[in-house]
């Protein structure tokens, strides 16, 4: 049974999400979310928006990707529209929601439209976090090439959990999740924007870069300490060696998995240099 108008207004918005097909809303409205994204130091032409929409469409029709993104979207909605922030939703509906009546025809439809808009805008904030440095293209290429089970794809999905372990909140005011204003997608390039080659490399590079201080202050057992810290920070990176159990093979006898791992390492180094360049002494 659909919630009544009184329930929609007076109860935390997050409580109603269990009755809503969020995945369906994501699939039907992702182009709206993409159109609201503005990429730092990159072109934002109609062609660029169309290409990003194609990439996102291929990702959203992959069940593994959706199984990772949907919980992250719920985390954002919980953060902004949980019981502790219900007043924001009620106040917005009371004052601004009435303007929607001219578009929807009745108050209940206006409330439902507001709910859908809240989900779409929150999804936009999630995409801004996930597509940092054009990160979605990394997985998009793997899917397009039929490598959805390859090393890069598995790393992308594993690191997606870490990248959104905390809700990516960029708006200081919850009401911004109910308005069609643009959302900026940050770039980590030292001099200019770049397209990442390694999944969520900004997350990995920041972690590795931060671990330098641990190495510099630990004269003994540095390797074990760093490995332990890295495993605690980004557990999925510890799985890399599992994908390539024969690292000691001669070059001409490398397995395909080892070649994939080598390519991933080179991709990571490329991204690292784009982010830190000559400012890094690593």
Contact 268, 182 (CB under 8 A): no
What 3-state class would DSSP assign to 183?
strand
135 and 242 assigned to the same domain: no
Question: Would you say residue 52 lies in a domain?
Answer: yes
Res 195: pLDDT: 92
Q: Which of 16, 152, 136, 162 is nearest to 86 (CA)?
A: 16
174 and 48 assigned to the same domain: yes
Contact 27, 57 (CB under 8 A): no
Alpha-carbon gap, residue 111 to 189, rounded angstroms:
41
132 and 76 assigned to the same domain: yes
Question: Would you say residue 194 lies in a domain?
Answer: no
What size, in residues, is the chain?
282
Burial of 19 per CB tally in 10 Å (0-12, 13-18, 19+): exposed
What 3-state class would DSSP assign to 37?
strand
155 and 250 assigned to the same domain: no
Res 26: pLDDT: 94
178 and 248 assigned to the same domain: no
pTM higher than 0.85: no
21 and 154 assigned to the same domain: yes
28 and 158 assigned to the same domain: yes
82 and 118 assigned to the same domain: yes
104 and 230 assigned to the same domain: no
Q: Is the dihedral of CA 105, 110, 111, 115 positive or negative?
A: positive
Question: Would you say residue 196 lies in a domain?
Answer: no
Alpha-carbon gap, residue 26 to 23, rounded angstroms:
5
Question: Residue 3 pairs with which residues in a beta bridge?
Answer: none
Question: Would you say residue 192 lies in a domain?
Answer: no
Res 265: pLDDT: 83
154 and 34 assigned to the same domain: yes
The DSSP-derived string for 50-111 is HHHHHHHHHHHTSHHHHHHHHHHHHHHHHHHHSGGGHHHHHHHHHHTGGGGHHHHSSHHHHH
Contact 202, 233 (CB under 8 A): no
| Chosen domain end from 185, 212, 229 | 185
Low-confidence ranges of the chain (pLDDT < 70): 1-5, 8-9, 12-14, 81-99, 101-102, 163-178, 212-259, 278-282
Res 251: pLDDT: 45
Question: Would you say residue 193 lies in a domain?
Answer: no
156 and 34 assigned to the same domain: yes
| Chosen domain end from 157, 185, 213 | 185
Q: Tally the domains of the chain.
A: 2
Question: Residue 38 pairs with which residues in a beta bridge?
Answer: 184
121 and 215 assigned to the same domain: no
Res 177: pLDDT: 58
3-state secondary structure 55-70: HHHHHHCCHHHHHHHH
What 3-state class would DSSP assign to 196?
coil
Res 59: pLDDT: 94
Res 3: pLDDT: 65
Q: Which of 26, 30, 29, 1 is nearest to 16 (CA)?
A: 1
Res 203: pLDDT: 87
Consecutive H or E run containing 42: none
Alpha-carbon gap, residue 248 to 229, rounded angstroms:
25
| Chosen domain end from 142, 158, 185 | 185
CA distances from 76 to 122, 159, 172 (A): 7, 18, 13
Question: Would you say residue 70 lies in a domain?
Answer: yes
Range of the domain at 35: 5-185
Consecutive H or E run containing 165: none
């Amino acid at each position: 049974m659909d919630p009544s108008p009184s329930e929609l207004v007076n109860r935390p918005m997050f409580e109603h999400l269990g009755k809503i097909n969020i995945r369906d809303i994501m699939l039907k409205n992702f182009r709206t979310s993409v159109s609201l994204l503005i990429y730092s130091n990159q072109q934002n032409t109609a062609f660029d928006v169309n290409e990003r929409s194609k990439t996102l469409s291929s990702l959203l029709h992959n069940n593994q990707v959706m199984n990772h993104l949907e919980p992250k979207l719920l985390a954002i909605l919980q953060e902004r529209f949980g019981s502790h922030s219900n007043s924001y939703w009620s106040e917005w509906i009371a004052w601004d929601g009435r303007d929607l009546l001219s578009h929807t025809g009745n108050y209940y439809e206006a409330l439902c439209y507001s709910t859908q808009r809240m989900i779409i805008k929150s999804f936009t904030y999630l995409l801004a976090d996930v597509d940092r440095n054009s990160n979605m293209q990394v997985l998009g290429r793997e899917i397009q090439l039929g490598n959805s089970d390859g090393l890069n794809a598995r790393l992308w999905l594993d690191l997606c959990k870490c990248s959104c372990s905390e809700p990516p909140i960029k708006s200081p005011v919850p009401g911004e999740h109910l308005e069609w204003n643009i959302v900026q997608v940050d770039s980590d390039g030292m001099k200019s924007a770049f397209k990442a080659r390694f999944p969520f490399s900004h997350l990995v590079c920041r972690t590795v870069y931060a671990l330098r201080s641990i190495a510099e202050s630990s004269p003994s057992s540095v390797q074990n300490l760093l490995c332990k810290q890295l495993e605690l920070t980004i557990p999925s990176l510890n799985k890399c060696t599992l994908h390539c159990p024969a690292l000691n093979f001669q070059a001409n006898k490398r397995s395909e998995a080892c070649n994939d791992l080598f390519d991933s390492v080179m991709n990571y180094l490329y991204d690292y240099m784009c982010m830190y360049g000559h400012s890094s002494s690593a």
